[in-house]
Structure 1
């Protein structure tokens, strides 16, 4: 025998309606049972959405750009007095690349702004009670035909 305890208030005085029991062939068996207490739980779509979003983040894999990307050239600034921006420029001649701006995030071939790092916080911890509350709330929502049909399911 498994006992189930709810951490939110379920009014014991509220009548739990009797519901009919059907077989797998959709025939009434004649017996009735009282509606389980889980269907009287508060329906909180905001909590369900939050927990779902946080749990979905636990499937992500870390990614990042190469730490040397955009810095694999020996560019140096020309300084002031040349009527051009002070961005570092590629050295040399004889190629289209020489004299082009480098390193900056505004330059073609430069590094990105704030390069992505693999130590970003990819996964999320969720309070156990919050997960339980979301689960009970989602189960309670399945007992409301209007909510079920609004999601495109047939009742």
Structure 2
């Protein structure tokens, strides 16, 4: 899958485009439009875990991406049920549930479909005791089918 690299802003036609790799965003410096977000930097990241500040042995950081997770292991989730009990006031609890609700609502139909389908795929592969590589390949194939619109209107079991 190739991405078209924009040379100018779609809003104001400015060529003053800034790509922030740390935040994963491409923005227009003139009008402030976020042209692209959630960009993933696939380059290697190395960290030095030495406490004394000397340059010791560096290691790669971060978990590998996975096709078996609906967000490929890159997304975030607003809290869990165990976090709810740590909150003190009713106001904080209300805010917690509101944020969780909006986090669920802003997901697209494709993301919701992938979440349910990949959970089912995990269940079936666990039951059949399939190797991880087979599960990854099946998830990759399902993702491609979703992107091409082949699963729309069909049950996950039939796909």
TM-score normalized by structure 1? 0.19
- Higher Rg: 1
Q: Which structure has more RCO (C-alpha within 8 Å, separation ≥ 6)?
A: 1
